[in-house]
Structure 1
Amino acid sequence: MKKETLVGAFVLGGVALLLAAFVLFGRFHPFEHKLYATLIFEGASSGLTVGSPVTFRGVQVGTVDKVSIEYDPPTRRAYIPVHITLQPANISLTAGRNSTLPTIPELVAQGLRGEMNLKSFVTGSSEINLDFAPQTRAVLHPDLVSGNEIPTRQSTMQQMTQTLTQLPLRQLADNADKTLASLRALSDRMDTSLPQLVDSLRETSDHTRQMMDTANATLATLQPELTRTLETIDRLAAAGTAQMNGRGAQLNALLARADTMLRKADHSLDGITSLTSPRSPERADLEASLRDIAAAAAALRGFASDVERNPQLLLTGRRP
Structure 2
Amino acid sequence: MSETETPHEAGDLPKALAVPRKRWQLPLVWLVPILALLLGGWLAVQAVLKQGPTIHIEFQTGEGLVAGKTHIKYKDVDVGMVSDVAIAPDRKSVIVTAKLSGQARDFAVEDTRFWVVKPRIAGGSVSGLDTLLSGAFIGVDVGKSDVSQTEFKGLEVPPMLIDGVPGKRFQLRAENLGSIDYGVPVYFRKLAVGQVVAYDLDKDGKGALVTIFVSAPYDRFVTEDTRFWSSSGLDFSVDANGLRFNTESLSTLLVGGLVFGSPSGTAAPPAKSGAQFVLYDNQQTAMREHDTQVELYRLVFHQTVHGLVVGAPVEFRGIQFGEVASIGLSYDASTQRVDVPVVIRVFPERLQRYTVDPETKSDAILDKLIESGLRAQLRSGSLLTGQLYVAFDFFPGVAKAVLKRKRGMPEIPTVDGSLNELEASITSIARKIDKIPFEEISKDLRSAIASLDSTVKQADILLKQVNQDVAPELKRTLAGAQQTMQRAERLMSQDAPLQQDLRDTLREVSRAAASMRSLTDYLDRHPEALIRGRTPDEDKP
Provide the TM-score with structure 2 as the length reference. Answer: 0.29
The structure having more radius of gyration, on CA atoms, is 1
Provide the TM-score with structure 1 as the length reference. Answer: 0.46
Question: Which of structures 1 and 2 has the larger relative contact order (alpha carbons within 8 angstroms, sep 6+)?
Answer: 1
